[in-house]
Amino acid sequence: MTATQSTSDAQTMILHHYENSPYAEKIRLMFGLTGSSWGSLISPAWPPRPNVDPLSGGYRRIPIAQLGADIFCDSSLIARELAHRAGQPALDPANVSGAARELMHRAEGAGFFSAITAVPPLKLLGTMLGSFGPRGAYRFVKDRSGLLKGGSARPPSAENARTVMRELFSSADQLLAEQAWLGGEQASVADFALYHPLWLHLQCGGRLPDDATHLKAWYDKVSAIGHGTRIDITQADAFAAARDADPRPLPGNASRDDERTGREVRVAPEDYGLVPVSGRLVALTPNRIVLARETEQFGTLHVHFPVEGYSTTPD
Q: pLDDT by residue (tens digit) across 149-207?
A: 888 888 889 999 999 999 999 999 999 999 999 999 999 999 999 999 999 999 999 99
CATH architecture for residues 2-90+229-314: 3-Layer(aba) Sandwich (3.40)
Q: Do 9 and 56 meet the contact criterion of CB atoms below 8 Å apart?
A: no
What SS3 class is residue 192? Answer: helix
pTM of the model: 0.93
Pairwise CA distance, residues 274 & 223, whole Å: 31
State which CATH number among 1.20.1050.10, 3.40.630.10, 1.10.1740.10, 3.40.47.10 fits the domain covering 98-223: 1.20.1050.10
The residue ranges of every structural domain in the chain are 2-90+229-314, 98-223
CA dihedral 273, 276, 281, 284 (to 10 degrees): 20
- One fold for 2-90+229-314 and 98-223: no
Neighbours of 21 (CB within 10 A): 20
Neighbours of 1 (CB within 10 A): 10
List average pLDDT for each run of 10 residues in the chain, which is 315 residues long: 53 95 97 98 94 97 97 98 96 96 96 91 78 78 76 88 97 97 96 96 94 98 98 97 96 78 95 94 94 98 97 94
Q: Do 127 and 121 meet the contact criterion of CB atoms below 8 Å apart?
A: no
